[in-house]
Amino acid sequence: MLVPDQAQNRVQDAIARAMKAGADAADAVLSAGESLSVSVRLGALEDVGRAEHEDLGLRVFCGRRSASISTTDLTPAALDTLAEKVVAMAREAPEDEWAGLAPADRLLHGTIPDLDLDDGELGDPAALRVRALEAEDAARAVPGVTNSEGGGAGASRSIWALGTSHGFAGAYAVTSHGVSASVLAGAAGAMERDHAYHSARHARHLESPASVGARAGARAAARVNPGRVRSGAMPVILHPRVGAGLLGHLAGAISGSAITRRTSFLLDAMGSRIFAPGIAILDDPHRPHGLRSRPFDGEGLPVSPRALVEDGVLQTWLLDSAAARQLGLEPTGHASRGIGGAPGASPSNLYLENGNVPADTLIADIDYGVYVTDLIGQGVNIVTGDYSRGAAGFLIEKGQIAGPISEFTIAGTLQSMFRDLTPANDLEFRYGVNVPTLRIDGMTVASG
C-alpha cells in the first residue's frame, strides 16, 4: 500500500496534468487502503474477506465553471486522459459564482498535526477469527440467549491525501479496528435481538471481545417478552447510543448547504438560545486517535476545536468555502469530501458536554416514562424540525427502570427537544458522535 508521501505525490501529479490540460485551478484527493474482516456464527467460521482500493478524484475549474471525475487507473496515460476529459467537462458546465478553491491565505502551511491515528497494524485473519469467536461465545453464554446472528472482527488501514493547485498538499494514514456480536434471546416466535460493537484507531484501545459479547447478550436477554406503554405526553430518557443522533440532526441543520438552500429549521437561529442554559456542544478534530479526527479539512484548511453551542446559544454554521462565499462569511474548517464531487461540510468528533447529575437522578423523579435504547425509521424533517421515530426500550415507573417495551413511537419537534433536553454526567467517548444519557420532558409517546 502507498505511504502518505507517495499519496501526496500522486495528487500533485494529477493536478499538474490538469493544469497542463488547460484548467485554471484544480484540486485532487486520493484514498488508498486495505482491510480484513472475519465473521463467525454458532462457533464456526462463516466468512473471511480482504479488500484493497486506490481511488483518485480530480476537480478542475475553468473560470467559474467546474467539473469532477474519479478513477482507479493511476497510470500516467490514464491520468492524462482523465485530465483532458474533466477539463472538457468543466468548459461545458454552467457557471457558478460561488465555486472555487478555498482562500489561499487560509490554507494550512507547515507541519501537519500528528493526531496518533495510525498504529501501523492490520492484523491477520487468524487473530481476527479468535477475536470474533470470543465475542460471540461471550454473547451466547448469557442466560436467555438462544441463537446468534454472529460475531465479527475487522481491521483496516487507509491513506488520505489532498492537494490543490494554489499551494496545499497533505496526507495522513489512519487505522481502524473493530469487534462486534449480534444475538437473539427468547423462544421461537418471540425472539428479540440486540448487538454491541466497539471500534478504535489503535488495536490496544479496543475493548476485550468478551466484554463486547457479554454486553450484546445482556441487551438481547433484557428485551425478552416486551410489554406496551400507554400513550401520552411523558418524560423520555435516551440511552447514549441513540441520543447521539440528535447531534447528527443539529449538524445537518447548521451545515452550509442547508443554510444557503434555506432548508433548515435553524435558518434564523444564529446567536440565539436553542438549548437550555449551560448546554455546550463541541467539535474536536484534534482528539488524539479519535474516530473522526483529522489534521486538515477537505479543502486544505487548518482545523481546531470549536464550540457549536455554548451556554445553549448557537455559535456557528459548518461552512465549506463555497457556502461561506455565498453567505459572506469565512469557511470554518469543516469542509468534507469523498472522491467525487465538490466538498460539503460536516463535524469531526462531535460531543455534548456532561451535565451535573447521574443518569439515575434524571430517572428518579419520573413517575411514568420511557427509557429508549433503540430508534427505528427516518422520521426526521430537517426543514421543519418535525420528529417521529419508532422506538424500543424500557418502561420507567416510580423512578425505576421496569420491564422491556416495544412497538411505540416518540414524537415532537427538534426545536422543543433541544430546548427541553437535560444531560446526565456519564459521557464516554465511544463513537464519532458522543452524548451522555439525555432526558427530554413532554415528548409524545404513542403505543403501536
Neighbouring-strand partners of residue 434: 351
pLDDT in tens, 153-182: 999 999 999 999 999 999 999 999 999 999
3-class DSSP state for residue 94? coil
pLDDT in tens, 287-299: 999 999 999 999 9
Sheet holding 192-200, edge to edge: 65-71, 44-62, 25-41, 145-164, 169-185, 192-200
Q: How many CB atoms lie within 10 A of CB 369?
A: 24
Query: 375-405: buried (b, 16+ CB within 10 Å) or exposed (e) per residue?
Result: beeeebebeebebbbbbbbbbbeeeebeebb
pLDDT in tens, 91-119: 999 999 999 999 999 999 989 999 999 99
Across the range 340-369, mean pLDDT stands at: 96
Cell numbers 490543490: residue: 164
Q: Which of 401, 389, 390, 393 is nearest to 359 (CA)?
A: 401
Residues 6+ apart with CB under 8 A from 38: 45, 47, 48, 49, 125, 128, 129, 131, 132, 152, 153, 154
pLDDT in tens, 396-441: 999 999 999 999 999 999 999 999 999 999 999 999 999 999 999 9
Q: How many CB atoms lie within 10 A of CB 333?
A: 25
Q: Which of 109, 117, 159 is nearest to 8 (CA)?
A: 159
- What is the model's pLDDT at position 441? 97
Residue 191 clears pLDDT 90, i.e. is over it: yes
Q: Which of 156, 155, 160 is nearest to 173 (CA)?
A: 160
Residue 1 clears pLDDT 80, i.e. is over it: no
Q: How many CB atoms lie within 10 A of CB 252?
A: 18
- What is the model's pLDDT at position 377? 87
Residue 363 clears pLDDT 80, i.e. is over it: yes
- What is the model's pLDDT at position 378? 86
Residue count (the chain): 448
Residue 2 clears pLDDT 90, i.e. is over it: no
3-class DSSP state for residue 91? helix
